[in-house]
Amino acid sequence: MTALTTGSSVPDLELQSTTGPLNLAHMQGRALVLYFYPKDNTPGCTTQSQNFRDAHADFTAAGATVVGVSRDSLKSHQSFCEKQGLPFTLVSDPDETLCNLFGVMKMKNMYGKQVRGVERSTFLIGRDGRIAQEWRGVKVPGHVQAVLEAVRAF
């Protein structure tokens, strides 16, 4: 399967999330910021999620919904949301369906070993359900502000 890229339509999928079943097709009509991160409660992922949390009102004002995705369980996500005060939905993707669809599963070096994991990535999906912009191999500092600027320009 070829990964989705800019201009691709996002298929109708029902996903398990911290707010119950989430259907991507039902989100059309509003911009969607879908960010993929490796793991709950790790330093970079926590900072990234806190940055999205801190800018949440700005994203909402700009007409965008923020949704985070990792392979962690719903229980882990719920705990992470509570601990960090995250006001947005987190999707649990343990079977990597969404991760594979967006092509974010990569081989990475961790402590000198090759491991397969989630490449930190963000996708801006337009009101029409198509990917408007993508950021792959994301570095956390300044990223959320760059995404917010893209949403506002969109």
Rounded to whole angstroms, the Cα distance separating 98 from 32 reads 15
Please tell me which residue in 10, 31, 33, 45 is annotated as part of the active site: 45
Phi, psi of 148 (to 5 degrees): -60, -40
- By CB atoms closer than 10 A (0-12, 13-18, 19+), residue 19 is exposed
What the block records as the tokens of 120 is 């930190």
**Does the active-site annotation cover 99?**
no
User: Residue 141: how many CB atoms within 10 A of its CB?
Assistant: 10
Q: What is the dihedral of CA 81, 13, 130, 93, to 10 degrees?
A: 40
Catalytic residue numbers? Answer: 45
